[in-house]
Amino acid sequence: MKVVIASDHAGFSLKEKVKKHFASKIEFIDVGTYSEDSCDYPDFAHKAANVYIEGKADWGIAICGSGNGINMSMNKHKAIRSALCWNKELAHLARLHNDANFLAMPGRYIEAEEAFTIVEEFMNTDFEGGRHENRVYKISVF
């Protein structure tokens, strides 16, 4: 399984912990940032989106301080359905009902153990389809 992962400076520490924790299960494509030096989250969101759109990753993870900025940037791409998740239940529903292909997390507001649980849930939940298919289709038709 290949997963593209991105963060800004505020998400860098959590990004590194996630990569280390899942190293035996996931092959990560890390598009940055690579330090805690101040940077702009859209730069890394767009890099991650392009890796996914080019078919080089199965799904993605994006982390910034609140999770909001990087999530908003991800969702500017038509092919991306990024969901901001700060607990297991939101990750489950993002996949089950919304067929999310990017997991956004708030690096400053969740602990590493919670992030691991969220990633695990996102990774192991399949899209339910059915009544949700038309709704998901309508997200990116414009």
Would you please indicate which residues are annotated as catalytic (active-site) residues?
97
Compute the distance between CA of residue 2 and CA of residue 30 in angstroms, rounded to an integer. 10
Task: List residues bridging with 102 in a β-sheet.
Answer: 60, 82
- What is the DSSP secondary-structure string of 35-56? SSS---HHHHHHHHHHHHHTTS
Q: Which residue type occupies 100?
A: A
